[in-house]
Amino acid sequence: MDNKVEFVLGIHNHQPVGNFDHVIEDAYQKAYRPFIEVMEEYPDIPFALHNSGILWDWLEEKHPDYIKRIARMTRVGGIELMSAGYFEPILTVIPERDRQGQLAMMKDYLVDRFQVEPRGCWLTERIWDPHLPDTLAGAGLEYVIVDDSHFKSTGFLSSEMRGYFMTEENGSYIRVFPIDRGLRYLVPFHDPEEVIGYFREIYENGGDQRKIAVLADDGEKFGLWPGTNDLCYRQNWLRRFCDALRANSEWLSVTTFSSVIDSVRPLGMVYLPTASYSEMMEWALPLKAQVAYHQAKEILEASGSFSDPSEAVKGGLWRNFLVKYEESNWMHKRMLSVSAKIDTDHSLKRDKALSHLYQAQCNCAYWHGLFGGLYLPHLRSAIFKHLIEAENVISDTEIVSSDDEISGESPSWKIVDMDGDGVDEILVANDSIRAWFKRRGGALRELDSVSPAFNLTDTLTRREELYHGDVKRISEEGKEDLDSAVSIHDMAVVREEGLEKRLHYDLDPRLSLVDRFLPAGDGAKSLDTGLFTEIGDFHDAFYDLETESGDGLRLVFTRKGKVAQDDEERTVALKKVISIDGSSPVLDVEYSITPEGGGLSCRFAVENVFSFLAGDAPDRYFEFPGKELDDRKLASTGEVVGVKDMSLVDEWLGLRVDLEMEPASLFWRFPIETVSNSDSGYERVYQGSAVTPAWDIESADGETVNFRLRIMVRPASGGEGTDR
């Protein structure tokens, strides 16, 4: 057995577009900087490095000394730099033109900054699609790294993956390296000698064949994940690991991906299915399927027939997130529409628009698993900010679409199926705002401020998640023992007492201008907890829509539906007219409600949600003119009587939303808060503020009652800060 085990180490560092500066700085100080400082001491232990473009840009500004260190280590062969989409998109869900643009952007940066042309690609979240060889080879890349689970799903054994393989699409070839899952779970959570023991097994059981072991994983696990900074640097895990690699160099060598493909023949051909790492495929499943997935794993594990049951139980695919979370799908389809519009533009502004588009393709806000992702409002807000800015650059107030006519009037408008659900939305824009309305419920899906670029209605529906069971369990059993965790996936921490009492779930997607008929006397508490009684069928039903142009645009939503009255259902005709003019940042909403076949006695509420990101910040608050509030912060709960006007104010952003009601209404407010998983534990996250005017209706048969709600977007005192 003369052939050594050849160990290839790959490190991937990334921070999302829109992340807080202090969060990135914390990651730099705890993980990125100390890792490089240690590895500088071991020039004979090379590794491959991928930093996302977001992180490269941040480092250039904040820590140029880090960039210089990377340049020195690259020149002497200590680092092999890898490519990827510059702003860390999931390549499989963006258009090919954008894939090539993002890959070229990263290549240009590495060539210009380090005089190195990348040969390999870090694949975002290791999300593979059989069509990717065309993309990667077309970008001039030679290899890519994926999880060994991709191979195991096609029948490979671990012992058959000690190298790399060739794959192709339409004659475009790329080399594929499988990441060793065993190493991914050992490092750095087990003693270095255990890792060496794992290598020893490969050496002793591999015969005379070449034995290549690949570990490519997040750099944040070397210092940022809970407990790992102390483990890696105070307890010197990383130095001890490097020392152990040196001590066993007689049979164990450390090399790079490029060195392997230059000196070792491929093991053969392979064709891989659409896949990602096993945890990602589990997170993509809907809740009921996740429960079944875990039950199946437990049965297989108890049988003792599988060393890793996840290899035999298959999860979903990443695109399932677009089905699981309506908000993810909406962002994705908004992004595609912006991309399509930019593709038709050939002006000098195109590059600026592309920069915004590429940033809006950063993957993190589009999905949710171990980390907050979609559940983090500041990440979603950054996506929308860049989409709105891209629209501003290309078409000013013109609504983005590539293949449908847009009215030449002001405001401009069009009808289009934006989210791909088979039902058209109507898109309206003037000089100040853009708004997307849905036929279902006649609801407002998105309201944007053009300047500053901000989505005012970006929130998240409260859903049951699988890990909510852990939140309840931990509240009963006490805190987890983090010292016994073998990976980041095993670290369960509840960051707030009583978090299990915050688990409320919404019956419908969180939209605005949602029409609800409630029993007389119902209050805000029932809406807050999601346990209210809906006695009408308007909130999620399809409305008829007509448009009336002239002095502005009028959207006329109408529907005849049912409202429960005592033991019978009453037919009710509802007409909702939304008026928008050519320049004012105002939505004027007029309601006419007429019962037929009997009187109507109930409470009518118009549910809305607005988000200014920080529910407890002192510069973000409610105003009720002439009314005293015990607590005016946006995360407060309350009921105010006789409200003619109120405001949500964000001094940091310099925006406010004013609501006017006619006649004066009962007014409810409460925060939309989710309980979600994150890298530091289970936490409560403010998603937005539900604001709901409600009117009591006592109407005779055929008697029409009228209500009016005006929504205005205006500047507020203050302005954009440096860190939210």
Question: Which residues are designated catalytic?
Answer: 125, 218
Q: How far is CA 450 from CA 388, 391, 584, in A?
A: 7, 9, 12
How many of the other CB atoms lie within 10 Å of CB of 171?
8
Name residues whose C-beta falls within 8 Å of residue 261's C-beta, 6 or more positions apart in sequence.
119, 142, 143, 164, 175
Q: What is the DSSP letter of 432?
A: S
How many of the other CB atoms lie within 10 Å of CB of 8?
26
Q: Hey, is 463 helix, strand or coil?
A: coil
Contact 333, 361 (CB under 8 A): no
Place of tokens 């293949």: 403
Q: Hey, is 571 helix, strand or coil?
A: strand
- What are the φ and ψ backbone dihedral angles of 249, each rounded to 5 degrees? -65, -15
Residue 533: left if φ>0, alpha if ψ -120 to 50, beta else—which one?
A: beta
Name residues whose C-beta falls within 8 Å of residue 265's C-beta, 6 or more positions apart in sequence.
none
| Cα Rg, the chain, nearest whole Å | 28
Burial of 723 (0-12, 13-18, 19+ CB in 10 A): exposed
Name residues whose C-beta falls within 8 Å of residue 473's C-beta, 6 or more positions apart in sequence.
none
Burial of 2 (0-12, 13-18, 19+ CB in 10 A): exposed
- State the Cα–Cα distance between residues 546 and 644, nearest whole angstrom: 29
Q: How far is CA 92 from CA 88, 207, 231, 257, 282, in A?
A: 12, 38, 36, 23, 18
- State the Cα–Cα distance between residues 513 and 609, nearest whole angstrom: 9
Nearest alpha-carbon partner for 144 in 257, 244, 52: 257
Q: Cα angle vertex 448, ends 446, 452, to 5°? A: 155
Q: Hey, is 577 helix, strand or coil?
A: strand
Q: What is the DSSP letter of 30?
A: I
Residue 114's beta-bridge partner residues? Answer: none
Structure token pair of residue 462: 């409260």
Q: At what angle do helices 350-360 and 96-114 cross, to 10 degrees?
A: 100
Residue 474's beta-bridge partner residues? Answer: none
Contact 12, 24 (CB under 8 A): no
Nearest alpha-carbon partner for 105 in 661, 94, 181: 94
Q: Hey, is 715 helix, strand or coil?
A: strand
Q: At what angle do helices 237-247 and 33-40 cross, to 10 degrees?
A: 30
Contact 676, 682 (CB under 8 A): yes
How many of the other CB atoms lie within 10 Å of CB of 485?
17
Name residues whose C-beta falls within 8 Å of residue 101's C-beta, 6 or more positions apart in sequence.
354, 358
End-to-end CA gap in the chain: 58
- State the Cα–Cα distance between residues 205 and 505, nearest whole angstrom: 52
CA dihedral 145, 148, 150, 154 (to 10 degrees): 130
Q: What is the largest CA-CA distance in the chain?
A: 95
